A and B are shown apart, each in its own frame.
Chain A
Amino acid sequence: MATTTEEEIDIELSPPGEEKGVLTGGIQSLFYTVDHKKLGLMYIGSGLIFFVIAGLMATAIRIQLAIPKNDFLEPDVFNRFFTMHGTAMVFYVGMPIIFGFANYLIPLMIGARDMAFPRLNAFGFWMFFFSACLFYFSYLGAEGLYGAGSAPDVGWFAYSPLTAKAFSRGHSTDYWTLSILLGGIGSLATALNILVTVFCFRCKGMTLGRMPLFVWLWIVVAFLTLIALPPLSACQIMLTLDRYLGANFFNTQAGGSAVLWQHFFWIFGHPEVYILILPGFAIASEVIPVFSRKPIFGYPIMVAASVMIAFISLGVWAHHMFTVGMTSLGNTFFAISTMIIAVPTGIKIFNWLGTMYGGKIRLDLPMMFCIAFLFQFLIAGLTGVMLSVAPFNWQLSDSYFVVAHFHYVLIGGLLFTLFAGIYYWYPKAIGRMLNHKLGLWHFWLFIFGFTLTFAPQHVSGILGMPRRIFTYDPGRGWEIWNFISTVGVPFQIAGVACLVANMIWSYFKGKKAGDDPWDAWTLEWATTSPPAEYNFEKLPVVRSRRPLWDLKHPEDPDWKHE
Chain B
Amino acid sequence: MACMLIGLTTAIAQSDSTVHEVANMFEPKSTPAEMIHEISLLVLLICGVIFVIVTTLLVYTVLRFRRRGSGDDHEEPPQVYGSTQIELAWTVLPILITVVLILVTARTIGEIQDAEMPADALNIRVVGHQWWWEVHYPDYDFVTANEIHIPLSSATERRVTHVALESADVIHSFWVPQLNGKTDLVPNRTNHLWLEPTSTGTYLGNCAEYCGTQHANMQLRVIVHPPDEFAEWVRTQQAAPTVDPAVARGYDTFVSNSCVNCHTVNGTVADGVFGPDLTKLMTRQTIGAGVAPNDTANLRSWVRDPQVLKPGALMPDMKLLDSEVDDIVAYLQTLK
Contacts and interface: CB of A to CB of B under 8 A. Distances in A.
Interface of A: 74-76, 79, 153, 155, 159, 161-162, 166-167, 252-253, 255-259, 292-295, 297-301, 323-325, 327-328, 331-332, 335-336, 339-340, 342-343, 346-347, 349-351, 353-354, 356-363, 371, 374-375, 378-379, 382-383, 385-386, 388-399, 455-456, 458-460, 462-464, 466-473, 475-477, 481, 553, 556, 558, 561-562
A295 B79 contact: yes
A391 B24 contact: no
Contacts of A167: 130, 169-170, 212
8 contacts: A79-B212, A294-B77, A325-B191, A343-B95, A379-B1, A398-B209, A462-B8, A476-B21
B105 A353 contact: no
A357 B61 contact: yes
Contacts of A353: 54, 57-58, 61
Interface centre among A325, A335, A468 (most CB of B within 10 A): A325
8 cross-chain pairs, A with B, having the tightest CB-CB distances, nearest first:
A394-B181, A464-B23, A459-B7, A469-B216, A325-B191, A477-B22, A252-B187, A298-B82
B21 A392 contact: no
Nearest to A364: B67
Given A75-B214, A299-B81, A332-B105, 20 more contacts: A162-B210, A292-B77, A297-B80, A331-B113, A342-B98, A354-B82, A354-B86, A357-B61, A378-B55, A382-B50, A385-B101, A390-B108, A391-B35, A395-B182, A398-B208, A455-B3, A464-B175, A473-B219, A476-B21, A477-B14
Contact of A359 (B54, B65, B130, B312): B65
Nearest to A456: B3
B208 A161 contact: no
A391 B105 contact: yes
B121 to A, nearest CB: 18
A159 B171 CA distance: 8
Contacts of A361: 61-62, 65-67
B21 A475 contact: yes
Interface in B295-310: none
A363 B66 contact: yes
A23 B259 CA distance: 68
B144 interface: no
Nearest to B217: A471
Residue among A252, A253, A391 facing the most chain B CB atoms (10 A cut-off): A391
Interface size band for B: 35 or more
A561 B80 CA distance: 10
Contacts, number: 302
B189 interface: yes
A386 B90 contact: no
A325 B186 contact: yes
A386 B43 contact: yes
B32 to A, nearest CB: 9
A472 B51 CA distance: 32
A73 to B, nearest CB: 11
Interface string B200-214: 000011111111111
Interface in B106-138: 106, 108-110, 112-114, 130
B26 interface: yes
Nearest to A157: B210
Interface in B1-36: 1, 3-4, 6-8, 10-11, 14, 21-26, 33, 35-36
Nearest to A399: B208
B177 A464 contact: yes
A295 B169 CA distance: 57
Contact of A297 (B21, B76, B82, B95): B82
A477 B204 CA distance: 12
A397 B81 CA distance: 41
Contact of B311 (A74, A324, A335, A382): A74
A147 to B, nearest CB: 17
B91 to A, nearest CB: 6
Contacts of B258: none
B189 A469 contact: no
A556 B79 contact: yes
B11 A463 contact: yes
Contacts of B26: 462
A390 B105 contact: yes
B283 interface: no
B11 to A, nearest CB: 6
A339 B217 CA distance: 35
A339 B105 contact: yes
Nearest to A393: B181
B268 interface: no
Contacts of B257: none
A388 B311 CA distance: 37
Given A361-B62, A391-B105, A462 B24 contact: yes
A476 B204 contact: yes
A371 B205 contact: no
Contacts of B24: 462-464, 477
A325 B90 contact: no
Given A343-B95, A356-B61, A395-B36, A462 B182 contact: no
A153, A358, A464, A470: most-surrounded residue (chain B CB, <10 A): A464
A477 B10 contact: yes
B36 to A, nearest CB: 5
B210 A325 contact: no
A294 B61 CA distance: 14
